[in-house]
A and B are shown apart, each in its own frame.
Chain A
Amino acid sequence: MATSMRGLTQFIADIRGARVRELEEKRINKEMANIRKRFKDGNLDGYQKKKYVAKVIFTYILGYKVDIGHMEAVNLISSMKYSEKQIGYLAVTLLMHENSDFLRLVVNSIRKDLNENNEIYNCLALHAIANVGGQEMAEALAEDVHRLLISPTSENFVRKKAALTLLRLYRKHPEVIPAAEWASRIVSLMDDIDLGVVICVTSLVMALAQDHLEAYAVCYQKAVDRLNRLVIEHEYTATYAYYKVPSPWLQVKLLRLLQYYPPTEDPTLRNILFEVLQAIMNNCAEPTRNVQHNNAQHAVLFEAIGLAIHLDPNSPLVSTATVLLARFISSRETNVRYLGLDTMAYLAARADHLEAVKRHQGTIILSLRDKDISVRRRALDLLYSMCDVDNSDVIVGELLRYLKVADYGLREEMVLKIAILTEKYAGTYKWYVDTILELISAAGDHVGDEVWYRVVQIVTNTEDLQAYAARVVFEYLKSPSSHESLVKVGGYILGEYGHLIANDSGYSPIEQFQVLHSKSQFCMAPTRALLLSTYIKWVNVFPEIKEQLVNVFERYRHVLDVDLQQRACEFYALATRPAEDEVLQNVCEEIPPFPARESALQTRLSRKLTDAGDRRTWVHGGSVTLDRQATRRTTKPALGDIHGNGSAATSGIDGSNGANDITQSLMGLDLSSSPTALQAKTSFSELQSAPAQFLAEKGIPRLTTNHNVERWFEKLTYSSEGVLYEDVQIQVGIKSRFHGHIGQVAVYIGNKISAPLTSFTALLHTEEPDALSVSFAKIAPSIIAPRMQTQQLVNVECKKVFTKAPILSLSFLAGAHQSIAVRLPIVVTKFLEHVKLGQAEFFERWKLIGGPPRESQAIFPITLADSGFINTERQRQVVSGSCLNILDGIDPNPSNIVAAGILHMAEDGNVGCLMRLEPNKDAKLCRITVRSTSENVAAELQRLIQKPLSTDAVS
């Protein structure tokens, strides 16, 4: 194409050949005038337009201002020739910014190209959307891009591009993409056969899932399954193996994606995951000579270690990982050292026991002197994370020593961290004061105000510390040069507590004054002001040096600085009042302890943590540091003391709590709790009416409803096998077996059509996870062959009484994306076991339990059998189907049914249940009474048994 445009080649050659800038400008001016003339004249054919627009583009990318040719570019886009279209799109993406008015003209052409059957046009259009992607464009075209992504007719590379385009749009305008609504459809693409598509879709899912954890929860299972297939089953084409590592990019993405979710509760998934992680770690046990191979392996490995730590910081996997990490932090390669330290810092932040990390303390401290600054930075982070009471002396000492030679860029952060560690893990006051003062004198300019405020706060709040602090600070001030921050601390502490040490030799008032005042001439105005305040305090407590002090005030009364002058004048007036006056004493009352306040240091530190790209899955010095701190606190009482009246102690915790909140929200720890809380309030019918958007956002599948579904469900509540759901495409059958609190439900899923169901996903969802646990024995296959049936075993365990049956949601691709969500017939009654009781026994217990609240009673209408009698047969069937043992001969009335059973629960133990059903033929009513040792059980049992019986009445 370029060869055919001779004018363009010549133009570029001319510009390249221009010796000086002026010549180049002249050539361009000339060309632009020519193009203006041509465009103005009109009547250009496609080739000419293409050529001139290409020249305009070239001029533009040289950095010249171009404001013509936009209209021609827009025209070119709608051309039918590829080369013209291409230049048109190039011009649009280069010349137009996202808010350009011209983009409105382009939107329709782009949409047309998206709808075109020609996949190259699709790609050009997608490319343009991704590159320009303004708000308006995103709103107009996101739908079409999504359609291209999910369309079964799209080529793989179109789908790849579509996924990435959508990702770009989402990152730029998250509000435009209905992420939650599209969740299931997008996630289903993670099952695609083409790994390239999977990589792209995973990137998209990663971005979406971060903001919509619940809605994208399905991807967890998909990711685990895919990892399993890649790592364990080696199911990938040779083209996706990079130096023998199966698609490291995909692996890394999947492992990272899993870290955004809280560790899974599902034992099956967990086992598979551990197996995968184990395999990854085993693969990396031996480093190879090939650098590329190592890189690929390490990339996967570090993510895997991250995930392992995330899943369970105390698992044996993590100890394996620690061994690996230890090798990495002493590696010869800088990158590996960096990553090793970084991951170790994560481990230190999460793990309860730091012994494994502490073993390498020496190596880590050595890393502080690494030749690479970023490695030094990571080492600092790690030391900060791994610090606790036992090693704080060593670490803080080491950091202080290193501070003096550290890079300037690192010092401020170091100072903050040292200050926090010192405060958090101080064993004795002495150590705390010594360390902080040494810090201030060593770091000088890098000490923020927060640090010395904090010192003052703690000294003020801790009475025992005051005299010692005054003495130490005085010693520091005696050195010929001291930093201003030190002078400030000195000024404050000596002013408040100087009198405590005034009687000791060498600390007399006049000496204190001389030492402090000798520094004042080197200080800035605010520090001098502080010193003036110190002097007025001294006037109160040291009458013997009043003369010198008043002298100072006298001199300062004439300085130019307004603040200083005012202070001096006021203090002078105050100091020269008659001796019997009490104003001075009242003014200089000792400072009361500070109210508990959040440590400003932590806030300052956490403010530094901002990330642009994908969110980090953890922060330094995160959650577990707090727990660790708390446990240590109980074992070492000295620690609590340092915080004096207890006020500062809480502030320390508050500080780390603040960081915690962030961590928690990041990791979505409240995943399980919030929907339950919501669900408890929303009844079944409310769920139905709730907007789909809301449900999707919460990750609750929308239940499929029709009359049949309810009927099937109800039938299964009192029988152990049958059809749960059926439509033209799929049939779901159930076979269940319960023993005590454990049950096993086999779900048979049959494909009724003559095409395979692809991207098949089965998910279980309980609304009361702490009362009932359900999980698949293994992950469902992603394809169901035509006219075939697959069986999935569900393990059930009842822990407490529950009222909501778990939801089974199935989704699959059969032409279009389908999803079904039905409740599994797992109800409390399934966990009942027969119990044999005699008449006397029964009534004894019946009376023992007594009336409400442990009794639940209801009267409901029933229909009679065709014969006009009570349908006793059916009633008996329902009752015995509910696993209650019908006891004959207890009730004198033969149509009454009396039954008993024991409910087995793993956590709440066994609960006995007694039931009595009294139908009345004439009134067509029936009374049900359930008595149980637990009131919840009684109510729930009554509801469950009554329901099928009364339905009869209705139908």
Chain B
Amino acid sequence: MISAFFIFNQKGEVLISRLYRTDLKRSIADVFRIQVVSNSDVRSPIVTLGSTSFFHVKINNLYIVAVTKCNANAALVFEYCYRFISIAKSYFGKVDEEAVKNNFVLIYELIDEINDFGYPQNSEIDTLKTYITTESIMSTATAVEESSKITTQATGATSWRRADVKYKKNEAFVDVVETVNLSMSAKGTILRADVDGHILMRAYLSGSPVCKFGLNDKLVIDKSERGMGDAVELDDCRFHQCVRLDEFDSDRTISFIPPDGEFELMKYRSTSNVKLPLRVIPTVNEIGTTQVSYVVTVKTNFSNKLSATNVVLRIPTPLNTTTVDCKVPSGKAKYVPAENVVVWKIPRIQGGSEVTFSGHAQLTSTTTRQVWARPPIDVDFQVLMFTASGLIVRFLKVFEKSGYNSIKWVRYLTKASGSYQIRF
């Protein structure tokens, strides 16, 4: 299992160092610094040197590193690293070098709690927050009572939920957030299109309610059931630990006792029948060696009641561009020489409409004539109340002993950031 856990900054200095087992020395950190941080060739998140494997995750110029000497489950180790990041985020907001330095005591406390002798332990944020606090110490009397509660909860059937939750107003919010990844060839064929979906839930419900959750009728998860018309096909999905998997396996119902507060109910991935919210049609011509002309059209591909917001197109220019003159009907377009792109920002595009960018880039002559690599156009956007996979929440039922009524809210959001790319 995990033998050691480190956090390095950009320069390879050790910020956090925790050895869970004795099979490693503290100097193993130097090995990572030399072999990974200082070595720009290494791109792989897993590096195995001899019998030691380093798993690292980069976030905000920090390296979160787990080291193991045995044949550990790589997915588990990465999940652990990401879980650490989400815990850290919820405890002190941003995870960067400064935050780590400011909260190093807390971090040691956390990583000791969520890992024992290399084996990951309970990492439910809400639970953790009950006994790892950032506030001042409570009086001893309440502390004893509190700690016994924590013990019952942590060792009980629903370790993620306290028994005595009470709300005046019982509410549940469901957010379906989908991230679309696209890569389209110059000829318009789709090379890759997939959707990463998250279903986030905020439950403010009294007692220990049992929730039942229904998605599209035709939800298909198993590959053998494929090919049944317009069904929403999910390649794989993952549930929060509160979901009863045996029921899901037997009759595809999602039933669970939700933790109190915010949690991620489900994650899924879909690669078929992806509805692309935006279509980009670029026409780029190199005129001689001194000019490039651009005509880029963006079409929205959803009902005109909806709209795409915060649309940003990054249109690459040749490396020897001097100036670009841009004409746009809406939004603002500007040449950013530092990144060699024209950035076109459109605050809002109505569904079913289209906008066109046209421009000319002036080039300077170069000594060595080199072919422009033509990197892809990159599009960022957000569309509310739209799912690219077609997934829809049919119902959410709450059963509680007291039988109170609850209010449920559902929101959909489809977005793209950095991986919606069109070649030309």
A residues apposed to B, CB below 8 Å: 19-20, 26-27, 29-30, 32-34, 36-37, 39-40, 67-68, 70, 100, 102
Q: If A30-B337, A36-B364 touch, does A20 touch B322 (CB 8 Å cutoff)?
A: no
CA distance A70 to B368 in the complex (A): 11
A29 contacts B364, C-beta separation under 8 Å: no
Determine how close the nearest CB of chain A comes to the CB of B116; give it in whole angstroms.
36
CA distance A68 to B370 in the complex (A): 12
Known: A26-B339, A37-B322, A40-B364. 11 other contacts (CB 8 A): A19-B10, A30-B337, A33-B337, A36-B320, A36-B322, A36-B364, A37-B323, A37-B364, A39-B364, A67-B370, A68-B366
Determine how close the nearest CB of chain A comes to the CB of B319; give it in whole angstroms.
8
Could you tell me which residues of chain B, from 320 to 338, have a CB within 8 Å of some CB in chain A? 320-323, 337-338
CA distance A36 to B337 in the complex (A): 10
Q: If A20-B61, A40-B322 touch, does A68 touch B338 (CB 8 Å cutoff)?
A: no
Determine how close the nearest CB of chain A comes to the CB of B13; give it in whole angstroms.
14
23 CB-based A-B contacts, threshold 8 Å: A20-B61, A26-B338, A26-B339, A30-B337, A33-B321, A33-B322, A33-B337, A33-B338, A33-B340, A36-B322, A36-B364, A37-B322, A37-B323, A39-B364, A40-B362, A40-B364, A67-B366, A67-B368, A68-B320, A68-B365, A68-B366, A68-B367, A102-B367
B338 contacts A29, C-beta separation under 8 Å: yes
Please indicate which of the listed interface residues B10, B61, B321, B337 has the most CB atoms of chain A within 10 Å of its own CB.
Answer: B337
CA distance A27 to B337 in the complex (A): 9
Q: If A68-B367, A70-B367 touch, does A20 touch B339 (CB 8 Å cutoff)?
A: no
Closest to A32 in B: B337
- Chain B residue numbers with a CB within 8 Å of A34 are 337
Determine how close the nearest CB of chain A comes to the CB of B81; give it in whole angstroms.
22
- Chain B residue numbers with a CB within 8 Å of A39 are 364
How many residues of chain B get a CB closer than 8 Å to chain A's CBs?
A: 17
CA distance A868 to B340 in the complex (A): 107
CA distance A37 to B321 in the complex (A): 8
CA distance A67 to B10 in the complex (A): 31
B320 contacts A67, C-beta separation under 8 Å: yes
Determine how close the nearest CB of chain B comes to the CB of A134; give it in whole angstroms.
15
Set A26, A36, A100: member contacting B321, Cβ < 8 A = A36
Could you tell me which residues of chain B, from 298 to 352, have a CB within 8 Å of some CB in chain A? 320-323, 337-340
A29 contacts B362, C-beta separation under 8 Å: no
- Chain B residue numbers with a CB within 8 Å of A40 are 322, 362, 364
Set A29, A32, A100: member contacting B339, Cβ < 8 A = A29
- Chain A residue numbers with a CB within 8 Å of B320 are 36, 67-68
* B contact face: mostly helix, strand, loop, or mixed: loop
CA distance A113 to B352 in the complex (A): 69
Q: If A36-B320, A37-B323, A68-B320 touch, does A29 touch B367 (CB 8 Å cutoff)?
A: no
B338 contacts A20, C-beta separation under 8 Å: no
B residues apposed to A, CB below 8 Å: 10, 61, 320-323, 337-340, 362, 364-368, 370
- Chain A residue numbers with a CB within 8 Å of B370 are 67
CA distance A745 to B332 in the complex (A): 100
- Chain A residue numbers with a CB within 8 Å of B337 are 29-30, 32-34
- Chain B residue numbers with a CB within 8 Å of A102 are 367
- Chain A residue numbers with a CB within 8 Å of B323 are 37
Determine how close the nearest CB of chain A comes to the CB of B336; give it in whole angstroms.
8
Closest to A38 in B: B322
CA distance A34 to B362 in the complex (A): 13
Determine how close the nearest CB of chain A comes to the CB of B77; give it in whole angstroms.
27
A67 contacts B362, C-beta separation under 8 Å: no
Determine how close the nearest CB of chain A comes to the CB of B317; give it in whole angstroms.
9
Determine how close the nearest CB of chain B comes to the CB of A93; give it in whole angstroms.
15
Please indicate which of the listed interface residues B61, B320, B338, B339 has the most CB atoms of chain A within 10 Å of its own CB.
Answer: B338
Closest to B323 in A: A37
Determine how close the nearest CB of chain A comes to the CB of B36; give it in whole angstroms.
16
Set B338, B362, B364, B366: member contacting A27, Cβ < 8 A = B338
CA distance A67 to B61 in the complex (A): 32
Please indicate which of the listed interface residues A19, A27, A33, A100 has the most CB atoms of chain B within 10 Å of its own CB.
Answer: A33
Determine how close the nearest CB of chain B comes to the CB of A52; give it in whole angstroms.
12
- Chain A residue numbers with a CB within 8 Å of B322 are 33, 36-37, 40
B367 contacts A20, C-beta separation under 8 Å: no
CA distance A27 to B10 in the complex (A): 19
CA distance A20 to B362 in the complex (A): 30
CA distance A37 to B325 in the complex (A): 13
CA distance A68 to B365 in the complex (A): 7
| 4 smallest beta-carbon distances between A and B, as pairs | A33-B337, A26-B338, A67-B366, A30-B338
- Chain B residue numbers with a CB within 8 Å of A19 are 10
CA distance A215 to B9 in the complex (A): 67
CA distance A30 to B337 in the complex (A): 5
CA distance A286 to B337 in the complex (A): 69
Determine how close the nearest CB of chain B comes to the CB of A68; give it in whole angstroms.
6
CA distance A34 to B370 in the complex (A): 20
Please indicate which of the listed interface residues A20, A27, A34, A37 has the most CB atoms of chain B within 10 Å of its own CB.
Answer: A37
Closest to B10 in A: A20
Please indicate which of the listed interface residues A20, A26, A34, A40 has the most CB atoms of chain B within 10 Å of its own CB.
Answer: A40
- Chain B residue numbers with a CB within 8 Å of A32 are 337
Determine how close the nearest CB of chain A comes to the CB of B208; give it in whole angstroms.
49
- Chain A residue numbers with a CB within 8 Å of B321 are 33, 36
CA distance A26 to B339 in the complex (A): 6
CA distance A67 to B367 in the complex (A): 5
- Chain B residue numbers with a CB within 8 Å of A70 are 367
CA distance A29 to B335 in the complex (A): 12
Please indicate which of the listed interface residues B61, B321, B367 has the most CB atoms of chain A within 10 Å of its own CB.
Answer: B367
- Chain A residue numbers with a CB within 8 Å of B368 are 67
A68 contacts B364, C-beta separation under 8 Å: yes
Please indicate which of the listed interface residues A27, A32, A34 has the most CB atoms of chain B within 10 Å of its own CB.
Answer: A32
CA distance A153 to B362 in the complex (A): 52
CA distance A68 to B339 in the complex (A): 18
Set A20, A29, A37: member contacting B340, Cβ < 8 A = A29
Determine how close the nearest CB of chain B comes to the CB of A42; give it in whole angstroms.
11
- Chain B residue numbers with a CB within 8 Å of A100 are 367
Determine how close the nearest CB of chain B comes to the CB of A132; give it in whole angstroms.
15
Determine how close the nearest CB of chain B comes to the CB of A159; give it in whole angstroms.
35
- Chain B residue numbers with a CB within 8 Å of A36 are 320-322, 364
CA distance A34 to B364 in the complex (A): 11
- Chain A residue numbers with a CB within 8 Å of B367 are 67-68, 70, 100, 102
Closest to A96 in B: B367
Closest to B337 in A: A33
CA distance A80 to B127 in the complex (A): 78
Determine how close the nearest CB of chain B comes to the CB of A107; give it in whole angstroms.
17
Determine how close the nearest CB of chain B comes to the CB of A24; give it in whole angstroms.
11
Determine how close the nearest CB of chain B comes to the CB of A49; give it in whole angstroms.
15
- Chain B residue numbers with a CB within 8 Å of A33 are 321-322, 337-338, 340
- Chain A residue numbers with a CB within 8 Å of B365 are 68
Please indicate which of the listed interface residues A20, A36, A37, A39 has the most CB atoms of chain B within 10 Å of its own CB.
Answer: A36
Determine how close the nearest CB of chain A comes to the CB of B180; give it in whole angstroms.
25
CA distance A32 to B10 in the complex (A): 27
CA distance A925 to B213 in the complex (A): 142
Determine how close the nearest CB of chain A comes to the CB of B290; give it in whole angstroms.
9
- Chain A residue numbers with a CB within 8 Å of B366 are 67-68
Closest to B362 in A: A40
Closest to B366 in A: A67
CA distance A67 to B368 in the complex (A): 6
Determine how close the nearest CB of chain B comes to the CB of A491; give it in whole angstroms.
40
Closest to A30 in B: B338
CA distance A36 to B322 in the complex (A): 5
CA distance A39 to B61 in the complex (A): 37
Determine how close the nearest CB of chain A comes to the CB of B369; give it in whole angstroms.
9
Closest to B368 in A: A67
Closest to B341 in A: A29
CA distance A696 to B339 in the complex (A): 63
- Chain B residue numbers with a CB within 8 Å of A67 are 320, 366-368, 370
- Chain A residue numbers with a CB within 8 Å of B338 are 26-27, 29-30, 33
Determine how close the nearest CB of chain B comes to the CB of A14; give it in whole angstroms.
12
Determine how close the nearest CB of chain B comes to the CB of A234; give it in whole angstroms.
56
